């Protein structure tokens, strides 16, 4: 069936809540308001206020109560309205959720899902960030960044059924994207598996979250001009599955990494380092990145556009790898 | 004894000074020496009792963590008389000469045994090196100090204290010589624990066995009453039965006696009541001769412990009257008056430093003697501090009786969320005019304080008159439906 | 049972619902109404904790325990009295000053000491250390060492009980310092709003590390902070075991009936520094001495003797038993092996993902062996 990304998330929540009574939702305005991004719209009516819980504006309490409820045997899916608001909860997630299983020697675990949203449009510096990499740094957390309706559906279901704390980072700019979603309530996309979204022999584009959409569009345009780019969607940032990336790079020898996060110390930096360690002999040129400009996001439309990865930028870097000078590709 | 690890990043420590000398008895927990680490000066603690046999390092020496610094003889061995060897060690360590133990290399402090900064003037005997140095820095004359160390030895704390006092006297800011000196405040347990003195101190004051200051607050003798806080504490009267005599004005600085928990609770609840409840007051005089005679008659038939008191009659009369005037037995709420199904009379009981209000539930479900028995029980429990929470919470009306204290009449503060409180003065003989004739009569004044949001003057007048009627025809207290 | 009125109102209470009525802490029972064996056991437990920590301090100075060691001498009545009021199926969560609490909850002293020693038989397998004890079998959800972090977690544990309509409560212990953290505020507000069955037991020992309470907050009667959230709150004497037990028990009763959280401020004092490295420049010796007069163990022993419910011999026997327990714990910890080096990567996740294993010579991201 064809669903939007938003509907896919909602459908996954609904089905998991129906499947398992322990699953419940809490967060700011997830109930009566219907969710800031309308993802949880209709769930309050369907499941009632004990399972769709409006919280105070208290990110630490939301995350912490999620940890406690998970320890207590429930399967909480908490919503942090946007990843920009997750920092008060970072202590709970980093010092709490991530460490509890290891530090207490596996005596108990934290089956918690924290749903949140990165990106944004015209929301400026404090409301447009892509902070998922902060959490991908932390052993003990799992960080998931779906880039299609099917992945949003299957990864969220897998996250809810997973026994570990999962940060599930949706993309604000993808909520309206439509795509096929299997009509199967047990369709799961396993966490920790990268996916080749498009095959190609000339060049590898590695991306996550909204970067995947940019990479796919770039691949389309390259294909029109006879260049076959392979697109690998990381899907899960931690634990990171390098298998498909390495296989692809061993085939193409050329890599561009695409993501909205700031480049320094970001996802691209990690992938580049891993390629240098594990596939150096296969590289036919430098590993290139297209990331967010290293500025707090400006509000003005033209500046914002400049600050985010664009298809042209991907193609320019691809051209540099393929030709040394790819003016013919860009028109 | 080894150089202790006192922090995860400590690798060595400097032995600043010995606090015990060879031969000294050592108790578990005693500080044997001061150790200086990179971060702080801490104490070398004895983890068992015994006798300090030998010092292995000199003051000022820097020693790696885990290296021995002294020998401690455990208790059993230490009980033997000190050996000759022990005395030798004793003497050797006191001499400021190089010991046989070579000091660790590269520790200049260990090389010359003399103190590094020479004092400005010869220091008195019995002052620690640190204290001497500190005294010089702070301009304190050691000769003026009383040492609190072993054998009157002056320690750094003594110097600190003296410096602090002189600072306080001079009203100087705490910053001296460009250095801020933090002065810790004293946190008195009495303030925090709500009990005026430490338990040991009480015991020394001759407290008898079993008189736990919490469990046993007999109102007349125990000065350390701390009853359970909460709703059971209330006022009985604006005129408190405090036996304290007014203190004569004294030239000495006033001393602040911290509020007890009970006083705090009373203060809070009474202020709230006076602030929120519009009180009004009415008084009646009741002829008590019949009631007193009735009581004597009745008590002839009763065992001693069940003897009826005037107070019991007041509870009974109030309870019966309240049944006929449910407004006065009600509870004010913003939505309306809550009508309480039973009459639960609270009785103000004086305890040391405050009041408790034990409650007798469903007074009108009991016969007079049964009611009196229950009144006696809860009052006794209150005096002994053994009330359970449900025995002091939630009355619907309060009686405060100061008659036995010689009070003629008084008015009381309503015990929220109740509607009224009855204040009873003493019954005393006085001239009384009946049909133009003066006769002796025993008269008691009752004053009711009531919530004007709930009731008005006429209703209260009727209520008080009904109480008077019941008391002046006391058989009605046994059966209110008897024809007069 | 459970599922309080707040939830009965479907998380949609009436506007203007503030404050509470009807809760006060129970006063302590009369000693003579308690079974003497039980009182003696309380005494013995407090002495086990005291000896345990004294021996731990000694082991620390000898370098056999590393890192930080936070001792709770003086706070034994809180641990033993507080936990005596709990049912086995209730939850316990506490902060890093956690040895006494673990022992009072019934964790094996040998395994607790082994944890301090960093050994494989430690309650947390040697991975947690002094600050991170836990015992899942006793529903002891850990010592948590970021100040205030566990208060929201406690609210969540309570939420699980409320969700399943179980008559269980959570005891959450923390210090006065934690009441200045944002997590404290958030947790109390959430617990109060949702009427979660959690008892917030604040150990007010007057110092957050070395900063006296009045230097860190304007309202130092911490129970008033609890009351500010509409939570029934009271200040109790944390040096009196039975007062603590009675207060926690009455709080637990309230919470178990679905009426929501209770906040208890227990006054106490720690005789030792914040950790072993503490020079204690921030308080006076006179103050320490004044508070030592309230030593909870001495106080309790004195009361037992004065009430005539135990004999001096019985107390001496209990002292000896306590020492034996602790000596056995030390011996057990000493003989326990260090953790197997091959287990370094074990247990970062409950469900390690095979696909995420490094493809070869990786830097360890996602590396977790089964």
Give, for all 484 residues of chain B, the pLDDT tens digit. 899 988 877 888 889 899 999 989 998 888 899 888 877 788 888 888 889 999 999 998 899 988 999 998 887 655 544 444 433 334 344 344 444 444 444 444 444 444 444 444 444 457 776 677 777 777 777 777 776 665 666 776 677 777 766 655 544 444 445 667 788 888 888 888 865 445 543 333 333 333 333 333 333 333 333 333 334 444 444 444 444 444 455 556 678 888 887 888 888 889 989 999 999 999 999 999 989 988 888 888 788 878 899 999 999 999 999 999 999 999 998 889 999 999 999 999 988 878 889 999 999 888 888 999 999 999 998 888 888 877 888 899 999 999 888 899 999 999 998 999 999 999 999 999 988 899 999 999 999 999 999 999 999 999 999 999 999 988 888 777 765 4
- Structural domain boundaries in chain C: 35-339
Which of A1-5, A71-75, B206-210 has the weakest average pLDDT?
A: B206-210
- Closest residue, chain B, to C66 (C-alpha): B8
| Cβ pairs B/C, distance under 8 A | 134
Contact indicator for A5, A175 with CB cutoff of 8 Å: yes
Answer whether B65 sits within 8 Å of C63, measured CB to CB: yes
Which helix (DSSP H) or strand (DSSP E) does residue C7 occupy? helix C5-8
pLDDT of the residue at C190: 97
**How crowded is residue C150: how many other Cβ atoms within 10 Å of its Cβ?**
31
Answer whether A104 sits within 8 Å of C7, measured CB to CB: no
Contact indicator for B427, B445 with CB cutoff of 8 Å: no
Coil, helix or strand at residue C228: coil
- Structural domain boundaries in chain B: 1-114, 261-478
Q: Is the Cβ of A286 closer than 8 Å to some Cβ of chain C?
A: no
For C35-339, CATH gives 3.40.50.970
From first to last of its 370 residues, what are the pLDDT tens digits of chain C? 444 444 545 578 888 787 788 899 999 999 999 999 999 999 999 999 999 999 999 999 999 999 999 999 999 999 999 999 999 999 999 999 999 999 999 999 999 999 999 999 999 999 999 999 999 999 999 999 999 999 999 999 999 999 999 999 999 999 999 999 999 999 999 999 999 999 999 999 999 999 999 999 999 999 999 999 999 999 999 999 999 999 999 999 999 999 999 999 999 999 988 887 787 889 988 899 899 989 999 999 999 999 999 999 999 999 999 999 999 999 999 999 999 999 999 999 999 864 444 433 333 333 333 2
CATH topology assigned to domain A2-180 = Rossmann fold (3.40.50)
- Structural domain boundaries in chain A: 2-180, 195-324
With contacts defined as CB-CB under 8 Å, which chain C residues touch B199?
293-294, 299, 302
Beta pairing class for A178-180 and A142-144: unpaired
Whose CA is closest to A145, among A60, A87, A199, A206?
Answer: A206
With contacts defined as CB-CB under 8 Å, which chain C residues touch A236?
356
- CA dist., res. B204 & res. A275, Å (int): 79
Answer whether C350 sits within 8 Å of A192, measured CB to CB: no
Residue A26, strand partner residues? A53, A78
Nearest CA to CA, how far is A265 from chain C (Å)?
15
Q: Which among C134, C153, C351 has the least Cβ separation from residue A67?
A: C153
With contacts defined as CB-CB under 8 Å, which chain A residues touch C347?
101-102, 105-106
Q: What class has domain A195-324?
A: alpha beta
Neighbors of chain B by Cβ distance (3+ pairs < 8 Å): C
Q: Is the Cβ of C303 closer than 8 Å to some Cβ of chain B?
A: yes
Answer whether C57 sits within 8 Å of B47, measured CB to CB: yes
Q: What class has domain B261-478?
A: alpha beta
Tokens 């009981």: give the residue.
B349
Touch test C–A: 3 Cβ pairs or more under 8 Å: yes
- CA dist., res. B415 & res. B356, Å (int): 11
Beta pairing class for B354-356 and B349-351: antiparallel
**How crowded is residue C10: how many other Cβ atoms within 10 Å of its Cβ?**
10
Coil, helix or strand at residue C174: strand
Tokens 């309530």: give the residue.
A185
With contacts defined as CB-CB under 8 Å, which chain B residues touch C308?
209-210
Nearest CA to CA, how far is A188 from chain C (Å)?
14
- Closest residue, chain B, to C243 (C-alpha): B214
Cα-flanking dihedrals φ and ψ of residue C178, to 5°? -65, -20
Contact indicator for B453, B277 with CB cutoff of 8 Å: yes
For B1-114, CATH gives 2.40.50.100
Tokens 């594990």: give the residue.
A278
Coil, helix or strand at residue B229: coil
Answer whether A108 sits within 8 Å of C156, measured CB to CB: no
What are the pLDDT digits (tens) for A165-185?
999 999 999 999 999 999 999
With contacts defined as CB-CB under 8 Å, which chain C residues touch A189?
none
Q: Which among C11, C128, C356 has the least Cβ separation from residue A103?
A: C128
SS3 for chain A is: CEEEHHHHHHHHHHHHHHHCCCEEEEECCCCCCCCCCCCCCCHHHHHCCCCEEECCCCHHHHHHHHHHHHHCCCEEEEECCCHHHCHHHHHHHHHHHHHHHHHCCCCCCCCCEEEEEECCCCCCCCCCCCCHHHHHCCCCCEEECCCCHHHHHHHHHHHHHCCCCEEEEEEHHHCCCEEECCCCCCCCCCCCCCEEEECCCCEEEEECCHHHHHHHHHHHHHHHCCCCEEEEECCEEECCCCHHHHHHHHHHCCEEEEEEEECCCCHHHHHHHHHHHHCHHHCCCCCEEEEECCCCCCCCHHHHHHHCCCHHHHHHHHHHHHHCCCHHHHC
Instruction: Just list the catalytic residues of B.
Output: 452, 456
Tokens 């004895």: give the residue.
B46
pLDDT of the residue at B199: 55
Q: Which among C11, C123, C351 has the least Cβ separation from residue A50?
A: C11
Contact indicator for A237, A267 with CB cutoff of 8 Å: yes
The number of helix segments (H) and strand segments (E) in chain C equals 12, 8
With contacts defined as CB-CB under 8 Å, which chain B residues touch C302?
199, 203
| Topology match between the domains A2-180 and A195-324 | yes
Which helix (DSSP H) or strand (DSSP E) does residue B271 occupy? helix B261-276
Alpha-carbon torsion A113, C349, A137, A95, what sign?
A: positive
- CA dist., res. C79 & res. C98, Å (int): 9
Q: Is the Cβ of A92 closer than 8 Å to some Cβ of chain C?
A: yes
Active site residue A220: no
Rounded to the nearest 5 percent, the helix, strand and coil shares of chain C are 45, 10, 45
- CA dist., res. A221 & res. B379, Å (int): 93
With contacts defined as CB-CB under 8 Å, which chain C residues touch A278?
359-362
Beta pairing class for B337-338 and B25-26: unpaired
- CA dist., res. B266 & res. B288, Å (int): 32
Report how far apart, in Å, the C-alpha atoms of C134 and of each of B323, C48, C176 are.
58, 18, 22
pLDDT of the residue at C18: 79
Show the tokens assigned to B274: 């006076």
Beta pairing class for B12-18 and B62-64: antiparallel
A residues 25-54 lying closer than 8 A (beta carbon) to C: 48-50, 53-54
Nearest CA to CA, how far is C278 from chain B (Å)?
7
Say which of A101, A109, A127, A217 is annotated catalytic: A127
- CA dist., res. C208 & res. B400, Å (int): 46
């Amino acid at each position: 069936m064809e669903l939007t990304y938003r509907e896919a998330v909602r459908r996954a929540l609904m089905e998991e809540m129906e499947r398992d009574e322990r699953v419940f939702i809490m967060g700011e305005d997830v109930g009566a308001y219907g969710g800031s991004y309308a993802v949880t719209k209709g769930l309050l009516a369907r499941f009632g206020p004990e399972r769709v819980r409006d919280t105070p504006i208290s990110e630490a309490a939301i995350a912490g109560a999620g940890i406690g409820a998970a320890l207590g045997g429930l399967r909480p899916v908490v919503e942090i309205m946007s990843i920009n608001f997750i920092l008060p909860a970072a202590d709970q997630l980093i010092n709490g959720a991530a460490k509890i299983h290891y530090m207490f020697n596996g005596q108990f675990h934290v089956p918690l899902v924290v749903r949140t949203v990165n990106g944004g449009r015209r929301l400026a510096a404090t409301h447009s960030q892509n902070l998922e990499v902060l959490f991908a740094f932390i052993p003990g957390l799992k960080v998931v960044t779906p880039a299609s309706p099917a992945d949003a559906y299957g990864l969220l279901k897998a996250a809810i059924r997973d026994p570990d704390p999962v940060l599930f980072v949706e993309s604000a700019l993808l909520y309206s994207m439509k795509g096929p979603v299997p009509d199967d309530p047990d369709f799961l996309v396993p966490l920790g598996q990268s996916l080749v979204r498009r095959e190609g022999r000339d060049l590898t584009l590695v991306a996550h979250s909204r970067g995947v959409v940019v990479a796919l569009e770039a691949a389309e345009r390259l294909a029109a001009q006879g260049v076959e780019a392979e697109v690998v969607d990381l899907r899960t940032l931690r634990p990171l599955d390098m298998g498909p990336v390495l296989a692809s790079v061993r085939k193409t020898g050329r890599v561009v990494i695409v993501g909205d996060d700031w480049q320094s110390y970001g996802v691209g930096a990690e992938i580049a380092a891993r390629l240098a360690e594990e596939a150096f002999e296969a590289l036919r040129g430098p590993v290139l990145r297209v990331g967010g400009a290293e500025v707090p996001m400006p509000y003005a439309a033209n500046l914002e556009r400049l600050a985010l990865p664009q298809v042209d930028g991907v193609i320019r870097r691809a051209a540099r790898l393929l030709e040394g000078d790819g003016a013919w590709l860009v028109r | 004894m080894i150089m202790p690890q006192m922090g995860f990043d400590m690798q060595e420590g400097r032995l600043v000074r010995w606090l015990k000398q060879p031969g000294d008895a050592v108790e578990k927990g005693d500080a044997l020496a001061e150790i200086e680490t990179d971060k702080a000066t801490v104490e070398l603690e004895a983890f068992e009792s015994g006798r300090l046999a030998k010092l292995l390092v000199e003051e000022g020496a820097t020693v790696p963590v885990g290296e021995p610094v002294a020998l401690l003889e455990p208790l059993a061995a230490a009980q033997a008389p000190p050996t000759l060897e022990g005395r030798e060690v004793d003497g050797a360590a006191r001499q400021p000469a190089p010991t046989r133990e070579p000091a660790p290399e590269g520790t200049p402090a260990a090389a010359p045994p003399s103190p590094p900064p020479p004092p400005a003037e010869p220091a008195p005997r019995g002052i620690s090196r640190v204290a001497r140095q500190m005294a010089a820095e702070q301009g304190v004359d050691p000769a003026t100090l009383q040492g609190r160390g072993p054998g009157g030895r002056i320690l750094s704390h003594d110097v600190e204290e003296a410096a602090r006092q002189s600072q306080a006297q001079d009203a100087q800011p705490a910053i001296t010589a460009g250095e801020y000196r933090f002065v810790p405040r004293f946190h008195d347990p009495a303030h925090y624990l709500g009990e005026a003195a430490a338990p040991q101190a009480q015991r020394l004051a001759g407290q008898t066995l079993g008189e736990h200051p919490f469990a046993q607050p007999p109102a007349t003798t125990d000065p350390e009453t701390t009853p359970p806080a909460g709703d059971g504490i209330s006022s009985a009267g604006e005129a408190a039965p405090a036996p304290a005599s007014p203190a004569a004005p004294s030239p000495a600085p006033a001393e602040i006696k911290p509020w007890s928990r009970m006083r705090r609770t009373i203060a809070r609840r009474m202020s709230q009541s006076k602030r929120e409840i519009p009180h009004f007051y009415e008084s009646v005089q009741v002829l008590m001769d019949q009631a007193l005679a009735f009581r004597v008659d009745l008590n002839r038939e009763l065992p001693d412990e069940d003897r009826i008191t005037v107070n019991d009659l007041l509870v009974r009369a109030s309870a019966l009257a309240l049944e006929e005037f449910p407004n006065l037995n009600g509870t004010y709420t913003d939505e309306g008056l809550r009508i309480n199904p039973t009459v639960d009379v609270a009785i103000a009981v004086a305890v040391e430093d405050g009041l408790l209000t034990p409650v007798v539930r469903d007074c009108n479900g009991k016969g007079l003697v049964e009611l009196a028995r229950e009144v006696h029980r809860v009052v006794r429990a209150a005096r002994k501090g053994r009330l359970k929470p449900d025995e002091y919470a939630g009355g619907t009306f309060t009686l405060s009786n100061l008659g036995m204290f010689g009070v003629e009449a008084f008015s009381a503060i309503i015990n929220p969320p109740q509607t009224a409180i009855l204040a009873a003065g003493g019954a005393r003989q006085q001239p009384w005019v009946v049909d133009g004739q003066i006769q002796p009569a025993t008269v008691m004044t009752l004053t009711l304080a009531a919530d004007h949001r709930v009731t008005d003057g006429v209703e209260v007048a009727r209520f008080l008159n009904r109480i008077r009627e019941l008391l002046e025809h006391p058989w009605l207290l046994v059966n209110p439906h008897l024809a007069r | 049972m459970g599922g309080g009125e707040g939830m009965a109102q479907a998380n949609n209470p009436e506007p203007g619902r503030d404050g509470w009525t009807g809760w006060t802490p129970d006063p302590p029972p009369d000693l003579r109404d308690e079974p003497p064996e039980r009182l003696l056991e309380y005494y013995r437990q407090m002495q086990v904790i005291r000896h345990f920590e004294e021996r731990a301090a000694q082991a620390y100075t000898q370098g056999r325990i590393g890192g930080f060691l936070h001792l709770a001498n003086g706070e034994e009545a809180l641990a033993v009295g507080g936990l005596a009021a709990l049912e086995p199926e209730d939850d316990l969560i506490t902060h890093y000053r956690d040895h006494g609490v673990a022992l009072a909850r019934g964790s094996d002293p040998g395994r607790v000491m082994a944890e301090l020693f960093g050994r494989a038989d430690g309650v947390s397998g040697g991975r947690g250390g002094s600050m991170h004890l836990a015992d899942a079998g006793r529903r002891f959800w850990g010592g948590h060492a970021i100040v205030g972090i566990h208060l929201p977690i406690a609210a969540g544990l309570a939420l699980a009980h409320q969700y399943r309509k179980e008559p269980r409560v959570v005891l959450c212990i923390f210090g006065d310092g934690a009441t200045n953290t944002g997590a404290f505020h958030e947790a109390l507000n959430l617990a109060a709003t949702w009427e979660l069955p959690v008892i917030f037991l604040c150990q007010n020992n007057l110092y957050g590390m070395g900063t006296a309470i009045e230097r860190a907050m304007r309202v130092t009667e911490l129970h008033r902070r609890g009351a500010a959230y509409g939570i029934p709150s009271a200040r109790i004497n944390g040096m009196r075991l039975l007062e603590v037990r009675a207060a926690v028990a009455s709080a637990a009763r309230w919470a178990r009936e679905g009426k929501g959280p209770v906040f208890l401020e227990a006054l106490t004092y720690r005789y030792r520094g914040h950790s072993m490295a503490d020079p204690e420049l921030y308080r006076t010796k006179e103050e320490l001495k004044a508070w030592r007069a309230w030593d909870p163990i001495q106080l309790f022993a004195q009361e037992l003797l004065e009430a005539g419910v135990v004999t001096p011999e019985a107390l001496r026997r209990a002292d000896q038993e306590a020492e034996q327990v602790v000596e056995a714990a030390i011996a057990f910890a000493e003989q326990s092996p260090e953790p197997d080096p091959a287990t370094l990567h074990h247990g970062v996740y409950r469900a390690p993902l095979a696909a995420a294993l490094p493809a070869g010579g990786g830097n360890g991201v996602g590396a977790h062996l089964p």
